[in-house]
Structure 1
Amino acid sequence: MTSAIRSTIVGSLPKPTWLAEPGILYAPWRVAPEQLDEAQRDATRLCVADQLAAGLDVITDGEQRRRHYVWGFLGGVAGVDTQNLTMKPTRGQRFKSESPAARLIGEPTYVGSQAIETLQAVKALTDRPVKVTLPGPMTIVDSLSDQTGRHSDDDLAMIFAKLLNREARELAAAGAAVVQFDEPCFNIYLAQTREWGIEALKRAIDGVEAKTAVHICYGYGGSEVAAWKDTNHDWSHYEQTLPLVAQTAIDQVSIETAASTVDLGVLETLQGKDVLLGLVNVGSERIETPDEIAIGLRKALAYVPSGSLHACTDCGLVLRSRHAAFGKMRALSNAVAIVNAEIGQADS
């Protein structure tokens, strides 16, 4: 018996213009510090309402409390300065020569979750499964400048894997249905992924009593990323990374296909895993039609059982307008309804 395809997003949604400047990463808050908590709560409530209205099956907090998806977790780690940033070559300089990076100024020590309160607030707004996103160990290391000079990259990744594992366990205990680790670096540093990145991911998910996911993409929808995608001709990275991920205990794997020409045949390597298939281009304001997304879902069903398939975005929608983000989410859920009807799951 077949099961229904579901819909979700990778994690982030655009912030309201009164909270942060739209369309840019690392946008500073537009709200006074004493009003920020209330403003972020309000923005989170709007994000949840939009996802529910769009018809998504798995809900996130829209990452409304984070200026950046890596810094959101690092704010709960002592020994890391996320205020006085430095510039550092990151992401293999694939998109730009340097990016802002938090600074490691002491021994990283977990001091408490930055996400549990938000998780509980989201759960109070919906009875649908809630996913919480965290940066993966390799991506944290790539986004961090070690000012102490004490650690190699692989050693530092194992340290952060332990801290992430503690956070993930606490989130699971607080009711997260899915804890997702964002690892775009798995598609950049292929040798390091093989040598120590996969091991760090294994340590991060160990003993987490919720579904675990890893998101591996080709970057946000910014202009530098879009320019690289327009000229790139090698999309074979998943052929190397996904077989490695398939050997782990991870439950779900999130990949992009909308803004790339990834061969969907690579999904054969993920048998037994849930696949969150990116069918929405986060680098464009254009809203895909449900029929366009449905084509991708039908193709994916040749490799993934319907009950293991989620229609998803390529990456986070933070850089898009709120209008486009809502339209893209609605298109995802409508496409799922189309294909579910075709496979006899219209009422699911």
Structure 2
Amino acid sequence: MTITKQKIGFQHVGSFLRPTDLKQARVDFEAGKIDQAALTAVEDKDIRELVSKEKAAGLDYVTDGEFRRAYWHLDFFWGFNGIEHNHLGGGYNFHKTESRDDSAIVSGKISFNPNHPFLKHFAFLKSLTDEIGGVLPKQTIPAPGQLYAELVRGENEAKTKEFYPNEADLIADIQKAYHDAIIALYNEGARTIQLDDCSWGFFLDKDYVARSTDQNKYDSLDTPQVLLDLNNGAIEDLPDDLTINTHVCRGNFRSDYIFSGGYDTVADYLFAQENVDTYFLEYDSDRAGGFEPLAKVSGDKRVVLGLVTTKSPELEDRQVIIDRIKEASQYLPLDRLWLSTQCGFASTEEGNELTDEQQWAKLKLVKSIIDEIW
């Protein structure tokens, strides 16, 4: 039987710069000046306006901009049973700065929470796309391997081992919690789900691991097999009409990055064996290496080249982007390639260092090149 997956279409990786009124509403909420209902009302208004802008920009798939989140990953983790919000006393060390110290820690056996807030978040987004028509909703969530990375980070590891002395049980529970979450999102109408994944970066950048052994335990792993198994196990036996994509990132915080290194060291795992439909790959700088590893992308899986950066306001040279797409097509046929920005514009609520107008100019450039080449 031939399964028809969703077309790639014109889509943004995920997050958008937070509007000023939303940032203020979050400050007021944390200070106790407004309640959750008032904050949600601001979020709803701004998401409605964003979706209209996304449609006007020609996007085929739209997101809620991750407007209800502080972080691209942690808010999702905190929604599981057995996971709590904690502070590690230090954040991730980016190239020039350090992130806030929020984290996620095990407080019991991990399982899917039927009242996970992301279900309502997606339902609202889908209600908007159903209302305006002509666009489809996309749900972004962090990859299973990303949760594992957080739970073995620094002081978190001891608490994880307290509840999970056998790591195989931890992996199994993460897989099941994710599988149940994905099915629940599917039941709300999600047909395109994107797994955002920075965890491969630990294997791309050995220098980072060498200087960060106090923050993570990836240096003790012989291969990336644990990530592959985690992610593939979570996405087994899903409905045939559900498209699972992944976005591989090297860190995106206030226009800064964590990791450097090409995909060569993980291509035999990530590209050859991860059972996703499409890869959204960061390729906006020399830190991402060359296109040669794309030859390892197996089957009929597709690659969206993140050649337009969200980390700086300068608009890329159109011909340079076109030339790089042609270069990539030496390793993967053009009909299996596509174009996007390298990441979101605000992986955390702080956002990258560009303006609202500049983020839309970036997307306009992406759309015009897609229209010309494909």
Which residue of structure 2 lines up, in the alignment, with residue 346 of structure 1?
Answer: none
Q: What SS does structure 1 have at the residue aligned with 2:89?
A: strand
Aligned residue type for 2:233: R
Q: For residues 69-101 of structure 1, what are the alpha-carbon distances to aligned partners after superposition, in whole Å with 9 as ceiling and x for unaligned?
A: 22221232122222x433367589997598421
Q: What SS does structure 2 have at the residue aligned with 1:175?
A: coil
Which residue of structure 2 lines up, in the alignment, with residue 156 of structure 1?
Answer: 170
Q: For residues 116-140 of structure 1, what are the alpha-carbon distances to aligned partners after superposition, in whole Å with 9 as ceiling and x for unaligned?
A: 3333333332433322111112211
Mapping 1:95-174, distance limit 5 Å? 96=98, 99-112=101-114, 113-123=116-126, 124-125=128-129, 126-144=133-151, 145-146=156-157, 147=159, 149-151=162-164, 155-174=169-188
Report the Cα distance in structure 2 between the residues aligned to 1:45 and 1:274, rounded to whole angstroms: 30
Which residue of structure 2 lines up, in the alignment, with residue 282 of structure 1?
Answer: 310
Contact 1:10 1:315 in 2 (8 A): yes
Q: For residues 288-315 of structure 1, what are the alpha-carbon distances to aligned partners after superposition, in whole Å with 9 as ceiling and x for unaligned?
A: 3544433333323333334432311212
Which residue of structure 2 lines up, in the alignment, with residue 314 of structure 1?
Answer: 342
Report the Cα distance in structure 2 between the residues aligned to 1:5 and 1:137, rounded to whole angstroms: 23
1:269 to 267, 283, 296: 296
Which residue of structure 2 lines up, in the alignment, with residue 60 of structure 1?
Answer: 63
Aligned residue type for 1:200: L
Which residue of structure 2 lines up, in the alignment, with residue 184 of structure 1?
Answer: 198
How far does residue 258 in structure 1 lie from its aligned partner after superposition?
0.5
How far does residue 273 in structure 1 lie from its aligned partner after superposition?
0.8
How far does residue 61 in structure 1 lie from its aligned partner after superposition?
1.9
Contact 2:57 2:363 in 1 (8 A): yes
Contact 1:187 1:241 in 2 (8 A): no
Q: What SS does structure 2 have at the residue aligned with 1:13?
A: coil
Higher relative contact order (CA 8 A, sep 6+): 1
Q: What SS does structure 2 have at the residue aligned with 1:181?
A: strand
Q: For residues 133-161 of structure 1, what are the alpha-carbon distances to aligned partners after superposition, in whole Å with 9 as ceiling and x for unaligned?
A: 11112211223425353336665344222
List structure 1 runs of 4+ shifted beyond 6 angstroms: 91-95
Q: What SS does structure 2 have at the residue aligned with 1:7?
A: coil
Coordinate RMSD, CA, aligned:
2.9
Mapping 1:172-251, distance limit 5 Å? 172-189=186-203, 191=221, 194-209=224-239, 210-222=242-254, 224-225=256-257, 235-236=261-262, 238-245=263-270, 246-251=272-277
Report the Cα distance in structure 2 between the residues aligned to 1:151 and 1:88, rounded to whole angstroms: 24
Gaps of 5+ in 2: 1-6, 205-220
Q: 1:87 to 1:205 in 2, by over 3 A?
A: farther
Report the Cα distance in structure 2 between the residues aligned to 1:193 and 1:64, rounded to whole angstroms: 35
Mapping 1:293-304, distance limit 5 Å? 293-304=321-332
Report the Cα distance in structure 1 between the residues aligned to 2:323 and 2:50, rounded to whole angstroms: 27
How far does residue 7 in structure 1 lie from its aligned partner after superposition?
2.6
Q: What SS does structure 1 have at the residue aligned with 2:183?
A: helix
Report the Cα distance in structure 2 between the residues aligned to 1:316 and 1:48, rounded to whole angstroms: 15
How far does residue 14 in structure 1 lie from its aligned partner after superposition?
1.2
How far does residue 111 in structure 1 lie from its aligned partner after superposition?
1.3
Which residue of structure 2 lines up, in the alignment, with residue 256 of structure 1?
Answer: 282
Report the Cα distance in structure 1 between the residues aligned to 2:253 and 2:91, rounded to whole angstroms: 19
Aligned residue type for 2:368: N
Q: 1:308 to 1:6 in 2, by over 3 A?
A: farther
Q: What SS does structure 2 have at the residue aligned with 1:143?
A: helix
Q: For residues 13-42 of structure 1, what are the alpha-carbon distances to aligned partners after superposition, in whole Å with 9 as ceiling and x for unaligned?
A: 111111126xxxxx9554522311111112
Aligned residue pair count = 324
Aligned residue type for 1:248: E
Contact 2:76 2:142 in 1 (8 A): yes
Contact 1:131 1:177 in 2 (8 A): yes
Which residue of structure 2 lines up, in the alignment, with residue 24 of structure 1?
Answer: none
Report the Cα distance in structure 1 between the residues aligned to 2:197 and 2:168, rounded to whole angstroms: 15
Aligned residue type for 1:117: K
Q: 1:305 to 1:183 in 2, by over 3 A?
A: same
Report the Cα distance in structure 1 between the residues aligned to 2:100 and 2:48, rounded to whole angstroms: 34
Report the Cα distance in structure 1 between the residues aligned to 2:70 and 2:99, rounded to whole angstroms: 21
Q: What SS does structure 2 have at the residue aligned with 1:212?
A: strand
Report the Cα distance in structure 2 between the residues aligned to 1:200 and 1:5, rounded to whole angstroms: 25
Contact 1:81 1:102 in 2 (8 A): yes
Q: What SS does structure 1 have at the residue aligned with 2:186?
A: helix
Q: What SS does structure 2 have at the residue aligned with 1:62?
A: coil
